[in-house]
Amino acid sequence: MGRSCAIALLACALAFACAAGARAACKVHIGDRVALYGTSDDPDVFIWDSRFRMRDYAGGSFDQMRALLPHATLAPAGTRARVEACVAAFVQSKYLSQPDDAVGVVITSGPLRGTRGWVVGDAIRVVWGPRYKTGKTRGPRAVSSRSTAMP
């Protein structure tokens, strides 16, 4: 009895480890400063009031999409935001084979400043974030500690 219990426990642990490894991590991190860009054909980005409505819109029929559209705000390309949350592989588009992340953001620039909502991970471009913190560098562009004034 003890041996079969140990085998069952080992099988459960192995199944749990495989499931945990299979989960994808988000491509962005909380606190990342990002810019929002859609596709080259349509660079504006929808900011949704709910990640569930965003998911339903991405996978819905034309009628469902039309009914959900009033729950989205259109942000112009290049709008700056800060990441507040991320749910990996949450949005499954009917046009793409791989699921995309749902990213919770707060807008930090433009007329929508202060607006909170959800965007598809594909519309995010990281401008500055925790990944870039190394030494005195504060982002992709190094900040010089020397004075640029002439002697």
* DSSP per position, the chain: -HHHHHHHHHHHHHHHHHHHHHSPPPSS-TT-EEEE---SS---EEEES-HHHHHHHHH--HHHHHHHGGGEEEE-TTEEEEEEEEEEEEE--TT-SS-EEEEEEEE-SSTTTT-EEEEEGGGEEEEE-GGG-BTTB-SSS----S--S--
pLDDT digits (tens, 9 = 90+) for 60-114: 999 999 999 999 999 999 999 999 999 999 999 998 899 999 999 999 999 999 9
Q: Higher model confidence: residue 140 or residue 151?
A: 140
